[in-house]
Amino acid sequence: MKVIICGAGQVGFNIARHLSLENNDVTIIDQSAELVRRISDTLDVQGIIGHASRPDVLERAGAKDADMIIAVTAADEANMVSCQVAHSLFDVPTKIARVRHQGYLKPMWANLFSREHMPIDVIISPEIEVASAIQRRLSVPGAFEMIPLVDGKVKLLGVRCGEECPLVNTPLKQITQLFPDLNITIIGILRDGDMVIPSSDDELAEGDSVYFVVDSEQQQRALSAFGHEEEEARRLVIFGGGNIGLFLAESLEESAPNLNIKLVEIDAERSELVASRLKRTTVIHGDVLDADIINEANISHAEAVIAVTNDDETNILSSLLAKRAGARRAITLINKGAYDPLIGSLGIDVAVEPRNITVSTIIQHVRRGRIHSVHTLGENFGELIEAEALETSPLVGVPLRDAKLPDGVLIGAIVRGDEVITPRGDTVTQTGDRVVVFAASDVIRKVEKMFSVQLEYF
């Protein structure tokens, strides 16, 4: 597949990395010669310096025979115009744009991005995606990651193994014996900064971060098995009144009216705007690193603080200060990947990484076959894929032990109607089943083919 990516920032770089690893023909455009040089030197992609919305630049990038354009520059307008030019002059079939400013996204203007006006197939709003991801994590206390799958019937959860975890030093194959009715499949372990695809003989160790797929009805039981029985937060403090903080507060006000929410914003004018938009949230004007403000926000009684300012260092420091003041849980927005190895040792409970969330959302629309959702896990570890099993899939009609799955592929769950099936060696997949698959980065293309429509199907 031939893909043009407009914008070589963090999101553009990560999308290019994912797609180039899967042998796609990728060209990336950016005005910055330094960013283009970095991406060309690091990845197997072609780099072009120029304005991504200009016809001559898109022509040089190969727009005449491109299958897709993904516009993720820093400017909404440039992203929209790039897609418009790609459609009008080069008839590029699929157009994806990142649009941050909410003025474009109001429901009353929904017709703006129709085929008759500004034909963009997929609009990505990072701030809304991140706010939604934070709200999902808030709903599962004790987990640092939560991704709903198959219409919420199945979930991916990420939990840390503390000293109180009953499963520490237990081989994974014995978990089924200890909890025979627990439908859970462990698909990844983060240990000492390295992600591991576990075998049945592997043991969990204190300090491990564990990713597992579980039947949603057994979510609480699974968390208890890992020693997590925290109660859902009712008193929250949000640090930062930018778009993410505002969207999150608005969404929480609507979905959970019994929450006690405070929001701290350093800019006076922004504080007034946020206060005018929120109905039940107490807005405090001040610096989140100021001890007096921390006291005023009553952090010592907060069950969760959510640090979503525009500065990573402020988010990390304010989270640590809040934990020191008595807050039970810290959810911290971190843009820079350089901080990833430090998160666990610092005491931050949940790190939210916008670039991974945005990349996952975009990659979902790049995948072929009957793939319903895609979520990236870790830095270049792999993807969690939810797909529909077609009649021609090699998975259908044979026991999983005979399906010849590539190394690096694990079946997390199979959903048949309302039934959630924990995969075993003798499990047989049927046509129409929703299958949750983990695929390591180097075998994603093979998994994609497993769920593609074959020519003989017709």
Helix (H, G, I), strand (E, B) or coil at 379: coil
Position 410 in a domain: yes
My answer on whether 82 and 6 are in the same domain is: yes
CA 400 to chain centre: 28
Asked if residue 434 and residue 337 are part of one domain, the reply reads no
Cα(427)–Cα(397) distance, integer angstroms? 10
Number of domains in the chain: 4
Q: How far apart are CA 168 and CA 249, in angstroms?
A: 37
Domain stop point among 195, 225, 255:
225
Domain boundary among 101, 124, 147: 124
Whether residues 144 and 256 fall in one domain: no
How far lies 19's CA from each of 120, 216, 289, 395, 405, in Å?
20, 31, 40, 25, 22
Share of the chain above pLDDT 90, in %: 50
Q: Is the pLDDT of residue 252 over 90?
A: yes
The reported pLDDT for the residue numbered 455 is 36
Angle of helix 243-255 versus helix 268-277 axis, rounded to 10: 20
Among 120-134, 274-288, 310-324, whose mean pLDDT is lowest? 120-134
Q: Do both 280 and 344 map to the same domain?
A: yes
Do 255 and 338 share a structural domain? yes
Strand partners, 46: 27
User: Where does a domain end: 84, 107, 124?
Assistant: 124
- Check pLDDT > 90 for residue 339: no
Whether residue 318 is found in the same domain as residue 379: no
The pLDDT value given to residue 200? 84
Q: Does residue 175 fall inside a structural domain?
A: yes
**The predicted structure's pLDDT at residue 373:** 80
Residues 94 and 140 in one domain: no
- Residue 179: pLDDT band (50, 70, 90) is confident
HSE value, Cβ hemisphere, 13 Å, CA-based, for 215 = 16
Nearest to 313 by CA among 284, 335, 294: 335
> Does residue 161 lie within any of the structural domains?
yes
Contacts of residue 342, Cβ cutoff 8 Å, sequence gap at least 6: none
Pairing type for strands 330-333 and 350-352 reads parallel
Kindly report whether the global pTM for this prediction surpasses the value 0.85.
Answer: no
CATH code where residue 185 lies? 3.30.70.1450
pLDDT at 368 over 70: no
Q: Answer whether residue 348 shows pLDDT above 50.
A: yes
Domain that holds residue 395: 360-457
pLDDT in tens, 28-56: 999 999 999 999 898 999 999 999 999 99
CATH of the domain at 258: 3.40.50.720
> pLDDT exceeding 70 applies to what percent of the chain?
97
- Is 230 among the domain residues? no
Residue 181 forms part of a structural domain: yes
CA distances from 448 to 328, 360, 371, 374, 390 (A): 41, 15, 8, 11, 12
Lookup: tokens for 196? 């591991």
The mean pLDDT value of the chain amounts to 88
Q: Which range has the worst mean pLDDT, 28-32, 210-214, 380-384?
A: 380-384
Strand intervals (E) in 334-395:
350-352, 371-377, 382-388
Residue 269 lies in a domain: yes
Instruction: Tell me what the mean pLDDT of segment 258-273 comes to.
Output: 95
Q: How far is CA 452 from CA 159, 187, 382, 387, 418, in A?
A: 33, 23, 19, 10, 24
Give kind and range of the element (H or E) at residue 149.
strand 145-149
DSSP state of 144: S
Question: Is the separation of the CB atoms in 401 and 423 below 8 Å?
Answer: no
- Same domain, yes or no: 353 and 367: no
Q: Are residue 353 and residue 365 in the same domain, yes or no?
A: no
